[in-house]
Every structure is written in structure tokens, then in C-alpha cells.
Amino acid sequence: MITVENLTKRYGEYVAVNDVSFACKPGRVTGFLGPNGAGKSTTMRIIAGLTPPTSGSATIAGVPYRDIPNPATQVGVLLDASAQHAGRTGMEILRLSAMTMGLDMKRVDEVLEWVSLTPEEAGRRVRNYSLGMRQRLGIANALLANPKILMLDEPANGLDPAGIHWMRTLLREYADRGGTVLLSSHLLHEIEIIADDLVVIGRGEIVAQGTKDELLAGTGAHVKAADDEALGQALVNAGFAAYPAQGGGINVEADPAQVGRVALDSAIPLIELRVGANTGLEAMFLQLTEQTQREQPATQGAL
């Protein structure tokens, strides 16, 4: 189990992480989400013992990472797939890790097969790897000692659709066997499929956390109008989050009665108005992090 309590990290006057608290439980995949610069990587580096916190704590099974004997046997970490020795082969990197951890060398062949790196690919120098191959190698390194906890930052970068499906299956099976997974990714659809719990961070602070089902429970309204663009703009002007829906219409974070009132006040005829179904992780993410996005949701200008 990973436990983060009142974690704060300052760089001079800049606060990268501010009083962050959450927990990642065994048997569950925790999706860690936030815009660029929100504090995800800083938090994960602190958990992995690479960056000291200004205050607060991050522990693994109640112990700071740096105090765990032979920690890579307990926690598999992948924070940057590019941070691997470019002059070594994939096989050499895994064998060195296995030697450091005191593992049987047979384990290297097992994880290479598990992540679908062929003997020929494992014999290449990492400088000649694609980003997807580096990701597979990094995941292999994280899994080498069959740890109880996995912490992965953007592991799907560079993977093709088949690779993303493979990774999703691997992590789901790992959690189902009782493992703890902390997964940061910008691929919201993949997080929505695989995650059990969600932690959303913006400007260094937690803006939402809970189970996926709790956070994505069906709320809001779905509406279609004679002029969706005009209604969308009217809803945004009224302070409601509004997003284009697949198949047409608008999903709105508001009660149907509130949407109807905006349409009436704006003299926009409605074609359909009903309680919204699950509006999805992307809609929730954009709503929660609206003030921390580098790019504002397109609906504010397009609707």
C-alpha cells in the first residue's frame, strides 16, 4: 500500500505539491491524473525516494522508500523510459538489475518474453530502441523481482494500440493478484477502462479523489437544441461546464431544470432534454482541472 500524507514540495517560492494526501490500496489500480505541471511527477518522485519532500510523508507499507531493504524487490518503478543507459543492450540492463537485486538470471528471460521483446531486440543497444521498446524494457525492469507494488508514470507513451491493450491486460491481472498499482497517464480512455480509483491533481493540490464509480456516477443533463452552438455558449456564460456529446447534443454538468431555464431565457428551442448518463472521465477531468489547463476546453470558444 502507498500512503501519501500532507505532502508538500517547495522550490523556493514555487509550490510544486501542496498538502497532498491519498492512498493506493492492494488489489486496485489507482489512476493519477492532472494537467502538465500539476505535480504528478514530483509526487511520484517523492514516493520513489528520488526527491525529498519539504513536509509531509510518502510511505510504502508504512516505510519510506529509502528505508526499504533492497527496495526494487518490493516496488517496481518506471518514471522515465528514456532514462536508460543508451550504450547498453536491453539484456545487459536487465541482467545488471537482476544481479543488483540478487535474482536468478532466468527471471530476465521470463520478463523479456512477458513484455514481448525478442532475443534479437534484447540484444540491441537501447539507443536504437523506439520509445515503445524503451517502455517495454522499463516495464520489464519494474516487474523483474515480481514486486508487490508498481508505480508507473506514462507507461503507454510510444506504445501502439496492441501494446496499450497488452499493458492494460498486464496491469489488470497484476492488481487482480493482489498487487498495488499507481498509474499516471494522459490517456484518459485507458485510465477509465483500467482504474479502480482516481486521484485528480491540479496546481499541486488534490481536486478530487475516490472510486471511479463514485466520481463518474451519472449526473448532469444531456440536451439537444435547434442551435447546439448557441445553447452551449449560453450554458458556459451561465457558469455551467458543457461538452459536445458523441452523436450530437451537449452533456452538461447541471440539473435538467437548470439547462431548461437557460434555454428558455435564451429563447433557444430544445429537441431533447434528459438526465445525463455517465459523462465520462474526459468530461470530469476537464471540469475539475479547467482552471489549471494550458488550453481551455474548446467548448468555451466553439460552443
Read off the CATH number of the domain in which 75 is found.
3.40.50.300
- One domain for residues 138 and 239: no
pLDDT number for residue 172: 92
Q: Cell 499541486, residue? A: 204
- One domain for residues 143 and 159: yes
Angle among Cα 296, 301, 303 to the nearest 5 degrees reads 120
Indicate the DSSP class of residue 245. Answer: P
Q: How many Å from the N-terminal Cα to the C-terminal Cα in the chain?
A: 44
147 close to 137: Cβ distance less than 8 angstroms = no
pLDDT number for residue 277: 62
- One domain for residues 59 and 115: yes
Out of 215, 246, 279, pick the residue that ends a domain: 215
Out of 215, 245, 271, pick the residue that ends a domain: 215
- One domain for residues 255 and 196: no
**What count of other Cβ atoms lies within 10 Å of the Cβ of residue 127?**
10
- One domain for residues 167 and 233: no
CA distance 250 to 276: 10
CA 56 to chain CA centroid, Å, is 22
Question: In 73-227, which ranges are continuous DSSP H helix?
Answer: 90-101, 106-114, 119-122, 131-143, 161-176, 188-194, 212-215
Indicate the Cα dihedral angle 177, 181, 187, 192, nearest 10°.
60
- One domain for residues 146 and 10: yes
pLDDT number for residue 218: 57
Rg of the chain over all Cα atoms, to the nearest angstrom: 22
With b for 16 or more beta-carbon neighbours within 10 A and e for fewer, the 168-197 pattern comes to bebbbebbeeebbbbbbbebbebbbbbbbb
Total domains in the chain come to 2
Out of 215, 231, 262, pick the residue that ends a domain: 215
Indicate the DSSP class of residue 229. Answer: H
Q: Cell 496491469, residue? A: 171
Residue 43: helix, strand or coil by DSSP?
helix
For helices 131-143 and 106-114, angle between their N-to-C axes, nearest 10 degrees: 130
Residue 138 Cα distances to 33, 82, 111, angstroms: 21, 9, 11
Structural domain boundaries, residue 14: 2-215
pLDDT number for residue 285: 73
Could you list the pLDDT tens digit for every one of the 303 residues in the chain? 999 999 999 999 999 999 999 999 999 999 999 888 889 999 999 999 999 999 999 999 899 999 999 999 999 999 987 788 999 999 999 999 999 999 999 999 999 998 989 999 999 999 999 988 999 999 999 999 999 999 999 888 888 888 888 888 989 999 999 999 999 987 787 788 889 999 999 889 998 899 987 777 656 788 999 999 999 999 999 998 888 887 789 988 888 889 999 999 999 999 999 877 655 677 667 766 665 555 544 444 444
- One domain for residues 240 and 194: no
- One domain for residues 189 and 252: no
pLDDT number for residue 80: 85
- One domain for residues 34 and 167: yes
- One domain for residues 24 and 46: yes
**Cβ within 8 Å of residue 288, ≥6 positions away:** 200, 202, 207, 208
- One domain for residues 79 and 127: yes
- One domain for residues 197 and 245: no
**What count of other Cβ atoms lies within 10 Å of the Cβ of residue 11?**
9
| Element (DSSP H or E) covering residue 235 | helix 228-237
CA distance 93 to 108: 10
Taking the model in full, what pTM does it have? 0.73
pLDDT number for residue 246: 75
25 close to 195: Cβ distance less than 8 angstroms = no
